[in-house]
Amino acid sequence: MPEAEARFMWLFVFFDLPVGTKVQRRNATRFRNFLKDDGFMMLQFSVYARVCRGEDGATKHIARVTRNLPSEGSVRALQVTDRQYERMKLLLGEATKTESLGSRQMILL
């Protein structure tokens, strides 16, 4: 598939990290900061998402997340198509400014 026709994928990272000690809080903060620096946006406190260009882009970012995992806790990744992402329903609250732009506008930012 030519580069211009690559499908957009969304990569979600869900995590539950311990924050009982100062070291645990520091590790959790480092992980959240890594996600933000890697282009993820926070949907909820422990749910981050980013748009990727195709399977290769999603695989690359999963590897980056894996290399930056904290030493303890639970971290999961979920990959969905742009079309599946558009079907997500916000049941309570408001969409963030970044989230409401949609994937195609986000890539242009």
User: Residue 32 contacts by C-beta under 8 Å, 6 or more apart in sequence?
Assistant: 42, 48
Q: Buried b / exposed e across 11-37, counting CB within 10 Å, b at 16+?
A: bbbebebeeeeeebeebbeebbebbee
Does 16 carry a binding-site annotation? yes
Contact between residue 48 and residue 12 where contact means Cβ atoms under 8 Å apart: yes
Query: Nearest Cα to 84, choosing from 63, 58, 64?
Result: 58
Output the known binding site: 16
Output the known binding site for Mg(2+): 16
